[in-house]
Amino acid sequence: MSAGATQDAANIDDATIEMLVHTFYSRVRSDELLGPLFDERVPDWDVHVQRMCLFWASVMLLEGRYATQALRRRAPPEFSRPHFSRWLQLFRQSALETCPGPAAELFIARAELIAASVAPARGA
């Protein structure tokens, strides 16, 4: 079965993505560790959340609405392992709460792969 077919079977659509992304970033904003980091860097939350919905649509629905190269511009070096663990923890929690059935696991697996590719190998 192709990745696309797996994702179709999990019924991932724009509504699922919006629910997950909104839930996740409202959690990030109120998080003690990550909230201040994001607040310093995100000038407009509506724009950021909207872009992240496009990002997740391009990852999960295999659409080209988001230029994934933009990901390379991010992950500044001062984000260390504890930040990435917290990010993944909040993401996992949000996915399990908002995504029906197997969709949550598909999102989580993707987030873990991407985090591993952008996170520092070592760090405090």
Closest listed residue to residue 100, CA positions, set 8, 6, 11: 11
* The binder of ligand HEM chosen from 41, 65, 96, 100 (CB under 6 A): 41
Tokens of 51: 């872009």
Cα–Cα distance for residue pair 53/14, rounded to 1 Å? 8
| Sign, CA torsion 40/85/53/31 | negative
Give residues with Cβ within 8 angstroms of 7, minimum separation 6: 60, 61, 62, 106
| Least distance CB 12 / ligand HEM (angstroms) | 15
Q: What binding mask, one character per residue, do residues 46-85 give for ligand HEM by CB under 6 A, x or -? A: --x--x---x--------------xx--x----x---xx-
| Least distance CB 9 / ligand HEM (angstroms) | 22
* The binder of ligand HEM chosen from 19, 37, 49, 61 (CB under 6 A): 37
The residues that touch ligand HEM, with contacts defined as CB under 6 A, are: 34, 37-38, 41-42, 48, 51, 55, 70-71, 74, 79, 83-84, 87, 111, 114-115
